[in-house]
C-alpha cells in the first residue's frame, strides 16, 4: 500500500458545478463586506494503517473558499461534508453566512471571476472530471 494516495479521482459532485472557479461579492444591502472565490478541490483521507499499510478513504470534492474582506485581509476556508451542504443551500438563494447573519451574494461572470482569481493569486484549476 502506498504512503500517499496515487492517481485518485473523486466522483464529480454536480452540485458544485455552478460554483466551480466562480467569484462573488458579499454585501449587506449596499455595504460591501468581502469578495469570495470558490475553488473546487479533491480530498482523500487516511482511514487506517501506518507507513506502507496505509488505507485511504474514498476521494471527495470540497470547496476551498478564498475571501478578501473589506479591510483587505485574505483568508481561506475549507468547506466539506456537512458544512458543504449548508453552504450550497444558502448559495442557491444568492445568500451566504457572515458572522452568524445571512448576507447578499452576487455571483460574478467568467471575466470577473478570472480577475478575482488572479487578484487572489489562486492557480487556475484544471477541468474537473
pLDDT tens digits, 107-123: 999 999 999 999 999 98
1 lies in some domain: no
| Interval 85-111 mean pLDDT | 93
Task: Name the domain count of the chain.
Answer: 1
**Residue 129 is assigned to a structural domain of this protein:** no
The Cα–Cα gap between 13 and 81 comes to 12
CB atoms within 10 A of CB 56: 17
Residue 41 lies in a domain: yes
For residue 127, is it within any domain?
A: no
In a domain, 97, yes or no: yes
Tell the residue number behind the cell numbers 489562486, with chain if given: 122
Confidence of residue 128 (pLDDT cuts 50, 70, 90): low
Within a domain: residue 128?
Answer: no
Parent domain of 47: 14-120
Residue 125 lies in a domain: no
Neighbours of 96 (CB within 10 A): 19
Q: How confident is the model at residue 1 (pLDDT cuts 50, 70, 90)?
A: very low
The predicted model scores a pTM of: 0.85
Q: Residue 128: name the closest of 75, 82, 60 by CA.
A: 60
Asked if residue 126 is part of any domain, the answer here is no
Mean pLDDT of the chain: 87
pLDDT in tens, 43-87: 888 888 876 677 788 888 999 999 999 999 999 999 998 889 999
For 3-32, what is each residue's pLDDT tens digit?
566 667 778 889 999 999 999 999 998 999
**Distance from the first to the final alpha carbon of the chain:** 25
Amino acid at each position: 500500500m502506498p504512503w500517499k494516495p496515487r492517481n485518485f479521482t473523486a466522483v464529480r459532485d454536480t452540485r458544485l458545478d455552478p460554483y466551480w472557479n466562480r467569484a462573488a461579492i458579499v454585501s449587506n444591502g449596499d455595504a460591501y463586506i468581502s469578495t469570495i472565490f470558490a475553488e473546487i478541490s479533491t480530498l482523500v483521507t487516511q482511514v487506517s494503517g501506518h507507513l506502507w499499510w496505509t488505507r485511504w478513504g474514498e476521494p471527495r470534492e470540497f470547496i476551498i473558499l478564498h475571501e478578501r474582506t473589506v479591510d483587505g485581509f485574505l483568508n481561506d476556508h475549507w468547506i466539506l461534508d456537512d458544512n458543504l451542504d449548508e453552504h450550497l443551500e444558502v448559495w442557491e438563494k444568492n445568500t451566504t453566512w457572515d458572522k452568524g447573519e445571512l448576507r447578499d451574494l452576487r455571483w460574478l461572470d467568467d471575466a470577473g471571476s478570472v480577475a478575482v482569481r488572479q487578484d487572489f493569486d489562486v492557480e487556475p484549476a484544471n477541468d474537473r472530471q
